[in-house]
Amino acid sequence: MIQDSYQTIASFSRIEIKVLNSRFIASAFPVTSKDGAEEILKKVRKEFYDANHNCFAYRIGMAGEVFRYSDDGEPSGTAGIKIFNVIQSKNLSDILVVVTRYFGGTKLGVGGLSRAYFEAALKVINNAQVIEKILMEEIKIKFPYDLISQVMHIISKFEVKVTDTTYGEDVIIFLNVRKGSVSSFTSELVEMCCGNINIETL
């Protein structure tokens, strides 16, 4: 089956935790591109210009094919990958998480740092509203008037969204169809109308 949906967060989220006097401020942002994520990252670094570290991870695309993470000066493997692991474990994409650290005077050690960054990332994501995004395809269908009841039956069956309808010599309907349902939807239309329908993917 075609993958046509993925999960992301609806809006900005921020939380703060303290570990042995170190402050960890976690910020999560919905993003749709690498450039967009990098631009937000610049703004966060500017906002927390006096912080010791601004560690981050982002994952973009339906399959999470675009990603990057950074320890930003923390010991290797203690921050960026921990944030990224949380994003992956929640199966999220189109998301940037930045965890800002203000050092509190007590060293946490590799294990302590790893746990703190993981916990901060987990809490900020749990604090956010997770939503599903569905990929749609726009389709134009054209058919004779005497087939309208059959066509509307199939449209209702697949819960397809009608965006526009034109009544001329024939009926023309513009539809938004879930990508994973396009093949079966159009096949049923053709079968129901005995081939007497024109289907165009826009």
pTM summary value = 0.81
CB neighbour burial string for 159-171, b if at least 16 within 10 angstroms, e if fewer:
ebeeeeeeeeeeb
Alpha-helical runs (H) found in the chain = 34-47, 80-89, 109-126, 148-157, 182-192
In the chain, where does the domain assigned CATH 3.30.70.240 lie?
Answer: 136-201
CB 24 within 8 A of CB 113: no
> What pLDDT sits at residue 1?
58
Q: List, for residues 41-50, the tens digit of each pLDDT value.
A: 999 999 999 9
Spell out, as residue ranges, where the chain has pLDDT lower than 70.
1
In whole angstroms, what is the distance from residue 106 CA to residue 25 CA?
Answer: 17
Which CATH architecture describes the domain 5-132? 2-Layer Sandwich (3.30)
Residue 35, both tokens: 């450039």
The third-level CATH classification (topology) of the domain covering 136-201 is Alpha-Beta Plaits (3.30.70)
Q: List, for residues 57-78, the tens digit of each pLDDT value.
A: 999 998 889 999 999 999 999 9
> What pLDDT sits at residue 200?
92
In the chain, where does the domain assigned CATH 3.30.230.30 lie?
Answer: 5-132
Please state, in angstroms and as integers, the Cα–Cα distance from residue 142 to each residue in 17, 26, 200, following that order: 58, 52, 9
